[in-house]
Structure 1
């Protein structure tokens, strides 16, 4: 499989994408998997419970999603709720969302699934959910909640850092 990275360079994602190889054998602490998705513990947790849900299929980022990807995002969110349900995390203590490039470290779509509280205030600052105004689902922010991403995609728009 071949894809372009953020600099437009061609790379072999099967060889270079760390998340394309998310397995227990490769050192991931897997908490959920099926034919289409894998979820594992974040290696630098920001909250008491912090997991990443990824599609097995390589998708570069939330910025590359289209309206036809709404079911994929909804399923990722459902998996996040399954994981947090298993850990008895109250609904009001759940956060789920995506970093928006270039404010992410891995170019493979991954949903942050968090059961609060955050471990430190510095960690919480990495996940700002900004509510949109003037018909936008989100404001100026490098993080988008799963629900905001779904709303943006359902309106036929693309997710970005600017209000959308």
Structure 2
């Protein structure tokens, strides 16, 4: 067999491998979408009233939440009940906002303070923020229809599905810094 035929067949094998890898990636994204669609109650796709919102009840003290690890006038931080790694915290504003999609330029301050507050909070716990994921899910990939910032560390402690679920700057998850940048460019 000539070397040109061998090289041609190697290129075809490489193309097939790339096609298979791309197909697997598309399948994983589809599975993630289906997972969130199933987990998210159909009713929750409608705007949720603050009176019925679980996170609003946590933030206002009307429902026994997980232990509040931090609280100020704007937001609270507590442990996620389904941790994706050794440390997994949520920062939620006390005022009800469904998600990043309902925010605009006027909310840059709130999101910036939540982000820097999460970074400071993780640091105060001795958690390495250089090995952390800090960000927001984008609708329809949200399980609670109340804005919440995830702070997760270490990344190396995350399972396969969690790494996909919290894949920074994917179309379903945005880093805190990118969320702030997007809001700064948005209209009022």
TM-score by length of 2: 0.69
Residue 150 (structure 2) aligns with: 112
Task: State how many pairs are aligned.
Answer: 142
Q: How far has the Cα of 1:35 moved from its partner?
A: 1.6
Residue 89 (structure 1) aligns with: 127
Q: How far has the Cα of 1:106 moved from its partner?
A: 0.5
CA contact (8 A) 1:39 1:53 kept: yes
Residue 78 (structure 1) aligns with: 116
More helix by share: 2
Q: Does structure 1 residue 58 correspond to structure 2 residue 96?
A: yes
Q: Partners of 2:126 and 2:45 in 1: how far apart?
A: 38
Q: Partners of 1:128 and 1:18 in 2: how far apart?
A: 25
CA contact (8 A) 2:129 2:153 kept: no
CA contact (8 A) 1:24 1:30 kept: no
Residue 143 (structure 1) aligns with: 173
TM-score by length of 1: 0.79
Deviations 1:70-113 (A, max 9, x none): 00010001110122111212232121110011101100000001
Q: Partners of 1:143 and 1:119 in 2: how far apart?
A: 15
Q: Partners of 1:41 and 1:24 in 2: how far apart?
A: 18
From 6, 10, 13, the equivalent of 2:50 is 13
Q: Partners of 1:19 and 1:7 in 2: how far apart?
A: 16
Structure 2 gaps of 5+ residues are 1-43
Structure 1 gaps of 5+ residues are 131-139, 159-164
CA RMSD of aligned residues (A): 2.0
More strand by share: 1
